[in-house]
Amino acid sequence: MTRIGIVGLGFMGYTHFEGARDISGGKVTAFATRNTAKLSGDWTSIQGNFGPPGGQVDVSDLKCYSDYKELLADPDIDLVDVCLPTDKHFDVVMESLAAGKPTLVEKPISVDPEQAKQMVAAADKAGVPLLVAHVLPFFPEFSFAAKAIQSKEFGKLKAGHFKRVICPPDWSNDMSDFRKLGGWGIDLHIHDNHFIAHACGKPDAVFSTGLLQDGFVNHVHTSYVYGSDGPAISAVSGGIAAKGLAFGHGFELYFEDATLLFDAGTYGGEWVVNRPLSLVASDGSVTAVDLPEGDKWCAAFTQELQVAVNHLQGQPAGPLSSNLALDALNICYAEAKSIQDGTIVPV
Ligand SMILES: NC(=O)C1=CN([C@@H]2O[C@H](COP(=O)(O)OP(=O)(O)OC[C@H]3O[C@@H](n4cnc5c(N)ncnc54)[C@H](OP(=O)(O)O)[C@@H]3O)[C@@H](O)[C@H]2O)C=CC1
Ligand SMILES: O=C1CO[C@H](CO)[C@@H](O)[C@@H]1O
């Protein structure tokens, strides 16, 4: 049984906690929070941009630490799950690795590429697993899309377009500093960069136009450059949607033999599926793809944590690979440079 300790109980700490309820071979046995109400199980202050608010949680079977350093020193923790704001990732991950703890850290690995490289190098040197919690490949529509791209079930992917937009979030004071987040490029659009690198391979270069703020991407349109045989991929992403559009994402994927479409988001506070995952076939038919039904709101996080737990038993890290997280971050920097210089930038 892998005993998981969560550090930081905000939107993601709570989401991981709920997601971990359904994994096999692992469970959350400890958490660390600075907040006295949360220490006693009152998680009602927690709310993110999807999922329900936190409630009253029975913490009697859990070790509740007010200082994450105590959690890192606990010999009964097998996997440290760092759910802190991004600017805290480097210090806490380095401490966790130094304590010999296999570590899962929320995305992005860091805003600073040098720090990100140091984290990966430290894990390699210590022989301690470091995983980055990029969850998008575990969402059923994206999981289906990645499998379709990699298996060529519908022929080769010829072209694709991705979308990910939010209105600026207001659930956390920690998210108000654009430089700490790395802008919506590194905070949000990195999901697409990671997914594209995971499903299609790392692009050779990017060409982007968009809006920069404090040197970071606020809104971006990117063309991902592959060799002459590669797919034509583009994405639009950013944080300039009006307040009624809290979150929206989707894709259009043009395969040789079919087109795969998906588009959904939170409009006016309601989850709206504009286009369920649909297969447009060459015979003219359009069918909704059967996806697992009745999944909990945090099911993708369950899958993500399952891969992390399985990795400690020798299974591949898959989409949680820290090198893939580095690639995704590097693409973000190439995009910002492309917007700045107006040129195609190698990745
Ligand atoms: N995969 C995904 O879909 C998403 C990923 N994320 C990522 O998750 C990470 C956390 O984001 P999110 O959960 O939204 O942020 P929140 O602000 O909601 O939660 C972060 C928590 O970290 C703790 N914390 C904050 N500052 C400090 C500090 N100085 N020292 C120690 N602890 C601190 C607080 O927990 P406490 O009060 O318990 O101490 C806080 O609630 C980010 O890296 C973000 O990019 C975010 C949203 C979605
Ligand atoms: O997917 C996400 C939803 O929006 C949040 C706010 O930008 C991001 O942090 C997160 O990664």
How many A from CA of 210 to the centre of ligand 2?
19
Whether the CB of 172 sits within 6 Å of ligand 2? no
Nearest-atom number in ligand 2 for the CA of 50 is: 3
Find the 281 Cα to ligand 2 centroid distance in Å.
Answer: 33
- Give the ipTM of the model, two decimals please: 0.97
Contacts of 311 (CB under 8 A, 6+ apart): 129, 131, 317, 320
For the whole model, what pTM was predicted?
0.96
Amino acid present at 87: D
Classify burial at 299, counting beta carbons within 10 Å of its beta carbon; exposed 0-12, middle 13-18, buried 19 or more. middle
Q: How far apart are the CA of 282 and the centre of ligand 1, in A?
A: 45
Give the β-pairing of 26-32 and 205-213: unpaired
| 202's tokens | 């790392």
Q: Which of 272, 232, 293, 270 is nearest to 262 (CA)?
A: 272
Sheet of strand 79-82: strand arrangement: 63-65, 26-32, 2-7, 79-82, 103-106, 130-133
Distance CA 81, CA 305 (A): 9
Closest residue by CA, ligand 1 atom 43 = 86
- Tens digits of pLDDT across the chain (347 residues): 999 999 999 999 999 999 999 999 999 999 999 999 999 999 999 987 778 999 999 999 999 999 999 999 999 999 999 999 999 999 999 999 999 999 999 999 999 999 999 999 999 999 999 999 999 999 999 999 999 999 999 999 999 999 999 998 775 555 667 888 999 999 999 999 999 999 999 999 999 999 999 899 999 999 999 988 899 999 999 999 999 999 999 999 999 999 999 999 999 989 999 999 999 999 999 999 999 877 899 999 999 999 999 999 999 999 999 999 999 999 999 999 999 999 999 99
CA count, 13 A, side-chain hemisphere, 155? 13
Domains and CATH numbers, the chain: 2-133 (3.40.50.720), 136-292+320-346 (3.30.360.10)
> Using CA positions, which residue lies closest to atom 2 of ligand 2?
188
